Every structure is written in C-alpha cells, then in structure tokens.
Structure 1
C-alpha cells in the first residue's frame, strides 16, 4: 500500500528522535567512566582530609605556636622577642642537662625494652612451654593507670619493702631503689617497661602473622636452634615491625613517663630522675616560665625526631646486612 506523506514525516521524525536518543546515550556512557575515574582519584584525598585537618589543627599548628613562643621572654620580658636566650639558659641549667643525660640512658636501655616483648611474642608464636601463661597475662599491666602502677611499686621498692626483704633472706644487702641517685632512674625505667610492654607485644604478634611459615618450617627441618631461628629467620622477617616498635617505644619513654616520675620520685633524688617532659611540667607549673617550657618542649621534639630517624636508618642498615 502506498505510504501517505504524513506517515513519511512521522517516520522521519521518529528516526531523528531515535538517533538523538542514541547519541545522548552514547555521550552519557562516555561521561560515566570518566566521572567514575575522577571519583576514584578523589576518593583517597576525601578520606584522608579529616585526618589531615585534625593533625594540622591539633598538632602542627600548636607546635608552630610553641616554637614561636619559645623565642619570647618570661616575667618582665613577657611577649618580647629574646632570640635564643631560652635555649642558652636550657643548656646552662643542671636539671636540663641531667634530663638530657637520662635521655641518652633511655636510648641505651631501648634494646632491652624492645627485646623483652619481642622474646615473649616469639615464645608465644613458637608455643614454647609456658606460652599459655604469657598469652593470658601479658596485657594486664597495660590496662593499669600509671598512678596505680607507681603507688604499687613505691610499696614494693621501699627500703623496708617486700623486695628488700626477699633480698635480705638470701643474704643480699637492701638497696635504696628510689632514694639512691645512681639507682632510681633504672628502677623507674624498669617499672615503665613492665607497665607498657603489652602494647609492643601485641604489635609483635601482629607481625608474626605476616611471617612466612615456610621459612620457619625450613629452619625446623634444617635443625636450626632457637637462637639461630630468631637471628636468621625471625629478625629479618620482622624488620619493619621491629623498626616500628623501636620508634614507638622510644617516643613512649620520652613522653609517657611523667605519671611514674611524679608518683615514684618527683624528679628526685637530687634531680637524678628528671626527663625532658618532667622538666617542662616543672618550669610551667612550678616556676611559671611558659616560654622556657616551650623551648624545652621544642628541644624534646627535635630529640625525638633525630633519635627516631637515626633508629630507622640503623635498623634498615642492619636489616640489609642480615
């Protein structure tokens, strides 16, 4: 049958409409992958932005203000620029020099603070006799407040306390654990290690979960002893975990011992247990010298940064050599 002119017009319009719709769908389909790729690229920045904002507002900005404040004066010179006078005074202050010397002692004791949770985690992982006891009690000290821990060990380490009673029972002279300037800092650091090793042990156990079991089986088949297995398999396999624990443990020693120091020794005897954080509190809270305290805080930040970078560098070099 012949097709009318009106029908031809309608068919032509329908064809143009379908062509336009197809072109629109094609354009939309091309835009969607581009939009999806753009969203994927932006997603990490959107997710990280809140954390970065918190770090900048609550960490970096106060740090910058503190550094700036450390170049101002106290007392009659409050608010005026004094250059490096506060830092010069720090270096001349015997208490601050004692605090720096104790920081050096902490660095020397750091391998012990890391080795204790590392060995306990190894015992748990290798299921040596007694590993169930370690798994049951290792985290208990970490949940105690430093005030409670300090009060408990004040009783245990007293000159007439239980520890000296036990030592006297085996013929050893009593030790003035908290009253002897040469011993007190070791006693406080030892208590701190006992109270905080649980967190490091958790990190080590998480690291063991990533250790290649085939290497452990090969060492077992080859008849490697426990020290050989630790040195040649476990330490190289956990090198990144060890680096992390070294840095976090050092930061904890420098910034988390105030509670124990305040309860156990109050910086004594004779200022022998001063650490930078206790010195900062003393200058701010007792001497009302916030600018000098800010200078000490800046010095503490620089110390932590330098020590942390040196530790990472040395551990990486040791990991390559092993």
Structure 2
C-alpha cells in the first residue's frame, strides 16, 4: 500500500489562540498596543476628579458652607433684632469697641514678632542639620513642648512668671526688682506670645528638617571649600534653597498665632490686664460664649478671616520677591 506524502500540519501565523486575533512578530517588535475603547479613555479622564471629589465635598460642607453662613449671619442683628438685616451695623459696632481695637493692635504685634517665631525653629533646624555642637541635645528635646496641652503650658508659666515666682526670685538674687510679668499691660502680651512660640516651635522645626532633606549637600560642600562662615552658609545657601519651606512655615505659623492662642490667653491672663492681651479669637469667644451675641461674633470672625487671608497673601508675595532678588 503506497504511503502518501504526509507532512505535519503547520498552523498559519495568522491564527491566534482559541480562534482569536493573531499577533504578528512585527507587532511584537514595534511594541504596538491595542487601542483602548472610548469608554476606557473617558474613565481615565475622569478618574482624578472622582478621587478628589470626597475631599472637595468635605471642604465645601465643613469649611466653605459654614464660612458663607457666618458671613451672611454677620449682617443680621442680635437680641431683639435677631435675624433682622442690619447691614454693616455689627462691623461699625466692632470698630467702635476699644477691646476689639486692642485685639487688632495685638494682631499687628503678632505680625511684627512673626519673623522671630520662624527664625527660632529655622536656626535650630540648621544647627541640627549642620551638626554643630549641641545638635544632639536639640534633636532630643525640640518636640517636647509641642506635645503639651496649652492649659498645662499656661499653668506652668503662671507659676514661673508669678510676682513671687521663681523668675523674680532669680532676678532678686542679682539685685533686680520683681517684675509683674503678667500684670503689666505693657509686657503681658509679649510674655504670652513668647510662651506660645516656645510651646509650638517644635512643629515648625519638623517642617524645616523635612525641607533640609531636599537640600543639595553639594552646595554646602562647595560653600565650605570656599571658606564660607556659618552665617554666610545660612544666608546664601540655606535660605534660598528652602524658600518654599520658609513660605509654608511663615503662613502656618501666622495662622497658628491668630487662631491657636485661646488656651494660653484663657489660662494665663483671661484677656487682662485691662484687656491688653485680647486677640480676635478671644474676643469672639467672649461675645459668643458670655455675651450671647452670635451675630457680632460672626462679624468678628469674618474680619479675622480677612486678616489671615490678606496677611498670608502678603507674606507669600514678599517672600517670592525676596527669593527673586537673591
């Protein structure tokens, strides 16, 4: 029986698996990708918006909407005029109140002391990064005050700064008379701000250390080779390299000084002596919590928000201009 000329069957190159479309070697070599469907492209386009939508919704509901309600409420009356439109009556009353004018004056004092509040953690972070003598001590204790409650901090410094307290005892031992640190209207606000800076500089220092992690070490090495002093290294290398970090610390520190000093004020001075340590947030609490005047408190809150917005934008502009000049 003649044997036929049998050959093994060869599957054509165009045949794919399970009858699917074939992928030619040329397609593999060219790296061609299958085209995505129109629905896939649309999903990819809207994915970022879907991901940020929950955060935006939270901000709108818990921040922007209450802010707008507060602004609207500030144009209504209190007491017998509750809910009635009074125009700018609340704002006129605020600027006619000596206590509120004192609070605004203290805001100006905070703005003047802000560079000190930023320079202290900035210098400490520089010392730690450059490993100057004592940097291990600063690294071990810098964050300790930040974990204390403002009430505890205020109570501690009430004891230290009391008229018959340890600080005046030390001054008396060197022949200096006692100072009424918290009872003198001319210095009480400086004491409260100083305590606040001591209690909160640890957070700013952490931000500065994070900024130093992005600093190019080659710049510092070049400065050392050129014989630059520590002051020159800080002024010409560190500050320009950390411009964005410094902007962030300036803005967040100012916001903290305007909105996070209530605990210290309440424990240390309660707004005294003679109202000299009033700040807008303390004034707002007095009007809302004790005087039961929510509309007037809303007007003061609106003014505080505008102050923070204007001061923050001015700081950013000034720091950006200084960076460009350098």
Same fold by TM (over 0.5)?
Answer: yes
1:260 — aligned with what? 264
Q: List gaps (5 residues or longer) in structure 1.
A: 1-14
Rounded to whole Å, the distance in 2 between the matches of 1:51 and 1:165 is 54
Of the candidates 272, 287, 300, which is equivalent to residue 304 of structure 2?
A: 300
Of the candidates 96, 99, 114, which is equivalent to residue 95 of structure 1?
A: 99
Shift of residue 111 of structure 1? 0.1
The answer to whether structure 1 residue 30 and structure 2 residue 28 are counterparts is: no
Q: Describe the superposition over 1:27-79 as per-residue Cα deviations: whole angstroms up to 9, x where unpaired.
A: x94335x5554443322212211111110000000000000000000011000
Rounded to whole Å, the distance in 2 between the matches of 1:118 and 1:168 is 34
Rounded to whole Å, the distance in 2 between the matches of 1:204 and 1:44 is 30
The answer to whether structure 1 residue 58 and structure 2 residue 62 are counterparts is: yes
2:145 — aligned with what? 141
2:177 — aligned with what? 173
Summarize the alignment of residues 87-166 of structure 1 with structure 2, pairs less than 5 Å apart.
87-166=91-170
Rounded to whole Å, the distance in 1 between the matches of 2:262 and 2:94 is 19
Of the candidates 187, 199, 203, which is equivalent to residue 199 of structure 1?
A: 203
Q: List gaps (5 residues or longer) in structure 2.
A: 1-13, 23-32
3-state DSSP of counterpart to 2:36:
helix
3-state DSSP of counterpart to 1:223:
coil
3-state DSSP of counterpart to 1:63:
helix
Of the candidates 179, 182, 186, which is equivalent to residue 190 of structure 2?
A: 186
Rounded to whole Å, the distance in 1 between the matches of 2:204 and 2:45 is 35
1:215 — aligned with what? 219
Rounded to whole Å, the distance in 2 between the matches of 1:253 and 1:196 is 10
Shift of residue 22 of structure 1? 4.0
Shift of residue 167 of structure 1? 1.2
3-state DSSP of counterpart to 2:288:
helix
Rounded to whole Å, the distance in 1 between the matches of 2:276 and 2:199 is 21
Rounded to whole Å, the distance in 1 between the matches of 2:119 and 2:204 is 10
The answer to whether structure 1 residue 73 and structure 2 residue 69 are counterparts is: no
The 4+ residue runs of structure 1 with deviation greater than 3 A are 20-23, 34-40
3-state DSSP of counterpart to 1:31:
coil
Of the candidates 260, 270, 273, which is equivalent to residue 274 of structure 2?
A: 270
- Matched positions, count: 304
3-state DSSP of counterpart to 1:30:
coil
Rounded to whole Å, the distance in 1 between the matches of 2:42 and 2:227 is 55
Rounded to whole Å, the distance in 2 between the matches of 1:35 and 1:214 is 49
Shift of residue 173 of structure 1? 1.7
Cα RMSD (Å): 2.1
3-state DSSP of counterpart to 2:47:
helix
Rounded to whole Å, the distance in 2 between the matches of 1:135 and 1:112 is 20
Shift of residue 299 of structure 1? 0.2
Rounded to whole Å, the distance in 1 between the matches of 2:178 and 2:245 is 40
Rounded to whole Å, the distance in 1 between the matches of 2:39 and 2:136 is 54
Rounded to whole Å, the distance in 2 between the matches of 1:286 and 1:94 is 18
The answer to whether structure 1 residue 85 and structure 2 residue 107 are counterparts is: no
